């Protein structure tokens, strides 16, 4: 985006920033975090705005993926699609964007290649390549479009549900920046942890320093989606110190401004870390579907847990979905719990089946909460 375009964007949204945000009508997630009485378990879904929705595919046909992310009106429109479709069955929205906007802000080119996913034509390969990264990233300049999209969306939501902001975790982003794309083994990125531990930490810190000023919203989720690739020892050394810095600093900064913003962590695949994570300041721990709800609840007694049905459950019938939801809620319990899937929606999911899932959560949990 050229500087005059950027200025026009900022001017355009200034009035929206100055206007008070509409008060929230649905505060279920905040009530769960505060331990207040609720009438049903709240639910939202990872990738709830995406290719499984015909209205999304229609809009995307004319617009490249990152163009949607970078254009506040388009990002806002797509964010609202599942909220408009499912009405009060959903209890949160999540801003339409991608975790790759952070590496882009750090000066790397990342393209969304159909059939392949996010791709870096010139990934970081050797420690000298770190010099190619922008030295001091000005987050307001390079990621201002996300802030504008969030502001516009909060106005357009009119308080119907709260809005999640999100970021990839430092390790997950580092892994993509080195591999150049998704990978089966993440062996190039993991080789760095063993061969260049010091440079790995320089890179993780650089990413952390961009994430902290970037994270805003009413709610936040940090996606450490590649954490399951790591040994428990690498997790302790290369993930924990950075995600703890992020949650501590984000809390400190937002509390100084008078906000109390709940922060959620998704360390996908890191079973062994639940206990360690339950001792941090993260308010919510999102779990994947390979974890047993009851055992996870026993391990992290005091934390709000979020998850965790296998996304493939949505290929099942209405009855199958209902029965699995009953078991899931039985395991987690109706308190300190936010329903979601164990990972994002798949492009070939039937939107009607997501509706069955959302209805089952409402029906099963409200019966238990009576």
Ligand X SMILES: Cc1c2[nH]c(c1CCC(=O)O)Cc1[nH]c(c(CCC(=O)O)c1C)Cc1[nH]c(c(CCC(=O)O)c1C)Cc1[nH]c(c(C)c1CCC(=O)O)C2
Is 186 a binding residue for ligand X by CB under 6 A? The answer is: no
| DSSP classification of residue 132 | G
**Candidate segments 26-34, 46-54, 194-202, 303-311, binder of ligand X by CB under 6 A:** 46-54
Nearest to 149 by CA among 95, 213, 78: 95
Is 182 a binding residue for ligand X by CB under 6 A? The answer is: yes
Return the SS3 of 298. Answer: helix
Is 196 a binding residue for ligand X by CB under 6 A? The answer is: no
CB of 51 to ligand X, least distance (A): 5
Is 46 a binding residue for ligand X by CB under 6 A? The answer is: yes
The DSSP annotation for 278-312 comes to HTSS-SEEE--TTS-HHHHHHHTTTSEEEEEE-GG
Give me 168's structure tokens. 């990839």
**Candidate segments 110-118, 231-239, 293-301, 360-368, binder of ligand X by CB under 6 A:** 110-118
CB of 37 to ligand X, least distance (A): 29
Q: Which residue in this structure is represented by tokens 């997790």? A: 235
- The length of the chain, given as a count of residues: 370
Is 106 a binding residue for ligand X by CB under 6 A? The answer is: no
Is 344 a binding residue for ligand X by CB under 6 A? The answer is: yes
Q: How many residues bind ligand X (CB under 6 A)?
A: 21
Residue choice 117, 121, 197, 232 for contact with ligand X (CB under 6 A):
117
**Candidate segments 4-12, 15-23, 42-50, 134-142, binder of ligand X by CB under 6 A:** 42-50
Is 48 a binding residue for ligand X by CB under 6 A? The answer is: yes
**Candidate segments 111-119, 241-249, 257-265, 308-316, binder of ligand X by CB under 6 A:** 111-119
Residues designated catalytic? 47, 51, 60, 98, 176
Q: Is 236 exposed, middle or buried (0-12, 13-18, 19+ CB in 10 A)?
A: middle
State which residue, 50 or 180, has the beta carbon closest to ligand X.
Answer: 50
In degrees, rounded to 5, the angle at the alpha carbon of residue 172 between the alpha carbons of residues 175 and 73 is 115
State which residue, 166 or 337, has the beta carbon closest to ligand X.
Answer: 166
Give me 221's structure tokens. 């989720």
| Residue environment code for 287-303, b if the CB has 16+ CB neighbours within 10 A, otherwise e | bbbebebeebbebbeeb
CA dist., res. 273 & res. 208, Å (int): 20
Cis peptide, bond prior to residue 308, ω within 30 of zero: yes
Is 51 a binding residue for ligand X by CB under 6 A? The answer is: yes
CA dist., res. 128 & res. 237, Å (int): 23
Residue choice 27, 33, 72, 98 for contact with ligand X (CB under 6 A):
98
Residues in touch with ligand X (CB under 6 A): 46-51, 60, 65, 94, 96-99, 112, 117-118, 166, 182, 223, 225, 344
């Amino acid at each position: 985006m050229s500087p005059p375009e950027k200025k026009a964007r900022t001017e355009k949204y200034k009035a929206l920033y100055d206007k008070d945000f509409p008060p929230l009508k649905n505060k279920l997630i905040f009530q769960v975090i505060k331990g207040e009485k609720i009438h049903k378990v709240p639910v939202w879904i990872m990738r709830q705005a995406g290719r499984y929705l015909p209205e999304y595919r229609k809009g995307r046909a004319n617009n490249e993926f990152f163009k949607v992310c970078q254009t506040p009106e388009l990002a806002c429109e797509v964010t609202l699609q599942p909220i408009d479709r499912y009405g009060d069955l959903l209890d949160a929205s999540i801003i339409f964007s991608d975790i790759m906007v952070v590496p882009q802000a750090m000066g790397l080119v990342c393209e969304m290649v159909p059939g392949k996913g996010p791709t870096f034509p010139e990934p970081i390969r050797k420690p000298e390549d770190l010099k190619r990264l922008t030295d001091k990233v000005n987050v307001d300049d390079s990621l201002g479009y996300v802030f504008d999209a969030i502001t516009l969306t909060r106005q357009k939501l009119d308080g119907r549900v709260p809005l999640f902001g999100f970021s990839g975790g430092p390790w997950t982003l580092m892994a993509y920046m080195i591999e150049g794309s998704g990978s089966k083994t993440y062996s190039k990125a993991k080789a760095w942890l063993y061969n260049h531990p010091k440079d790995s930490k320089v890179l993780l810190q650089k990413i952390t320093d961009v994430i902290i000023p970037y994270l805003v919203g009413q709610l936040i989720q940090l996606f450490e989606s590649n954490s399951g690739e790591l040994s428990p020892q690498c997790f302790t050394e290369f993930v924990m110190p950075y995600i703890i810095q992020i949650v501590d600093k984000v809390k400190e900064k937002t509390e100084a401004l008078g906000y109390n913003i709940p922060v959620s962590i998704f360390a996908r695949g890191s079973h062994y870390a639940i206990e360690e994570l339950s001792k941090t300041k993260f308010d919510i721990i999102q779990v994947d579907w390979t974890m047993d709800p009851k055992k996870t609840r026993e391990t992290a007694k005091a934390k709000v847990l979020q998850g965790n049905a296998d996304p493939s459950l949505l290929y099942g019938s209405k009855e199958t979905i209902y029965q699995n939801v009953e078991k899931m809620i039985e395991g987690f319990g109706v308190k300190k719990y936010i329903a979601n899937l164990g990972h994002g929606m798949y492009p070939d999911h039937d939107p009607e089946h997501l509706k069955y899932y959302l209805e089952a959560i409402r029906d099963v949990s409200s019966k238990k909460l009576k």
